[in-house]
Structure 1
Amino acid sequence: MRKIVLINCVKKKRAGKHKAKDLYVSTLFRYQLKYAKLFSEEIYILSAKYGLLELDDYIESYDLTLNNMSNDSRKKWTCKVLKQLQEKNITKEDRIVFLCGKKYLEYLAVYFKNNEIPLKTMGLGERLRFLKKEIMKRRRNERK
């Protein structure tokens, strides 16, 4: 069973065209990406505009969020992402770690049998503290 990490996009972006991993510049995104790299090499970004992105996909900056979409639009977005996941041979049997907010999880997480949502009940500050703590813990363990 594969372990795949899905990270949501964020509002704070660089202008212009960049690799997806470099476009998003918020502190939360940076920590989510560092955390994801601790336990998986298969990491994707969930973009409100583009759907599923690989870290090295080149994309233009945009101003769109799932938070402002209607339920119907979010359902269509979910169908698009599920199709993109299937194209990468990611199935409902795979282990999916969601590092995402509620709107990204809403219709997507229920599709997967083996999902983990470590940040599910946390606010922004709690998420940052959790991610920093876990990253530091891993670094300390690697030094031993």
Structure 2
Amino acid sequence: MHKTNPKIKNKLDYLLNILVLLLIILFNRTNLLYAANINWVEVSKTQAGIQYLDIDSIDIKGKGIIEVTTKYLKIDTNESRKIEENIYIMKINCMTNKFKDISVNGKKNLSAKWEEPNGDKLLDDVISDSCENV
């Protein structure tokens, strides 16, 4: 049986650990690639804000239900400048024109309930644009 020098074995173990660490770092960087795939399209604009849709995020969930990523920029009406930005993941029922925000700024909303847009132009436009692209 071949006997391995303990110093060589320690160096090989060290190199193997470094290699594994490097592979983990490299494969973990895939999240950066997904962020580059966002394709924001302006859907609607009012004095109070601008609504965007990531056209590439539309995902059909079945039975008229889709999931989309949207961005809302709140605008200071006095100074016409952006004062807040929120990213939403919404489920939309294209048959009833109802929606629910299942995530806001990366935080899941487990208690989201289906809502009517109630005449909100930005929401109405997101729903109609999202559903027509399905």
When the two structures are superposed, what TM-score results if normalisation uses the length of structure 2? Answer: 0.23
Q: Whose RCO is larger (CA < 8 A, sep 6+)?
A: 1
Q: Which has the larger helix fraction? A: 1
Q: Which has the larger strand fraction? A: 2
When the two structures are superposed, what TM-score results if normalisation uses the length of structure 1? Answer: 0.22
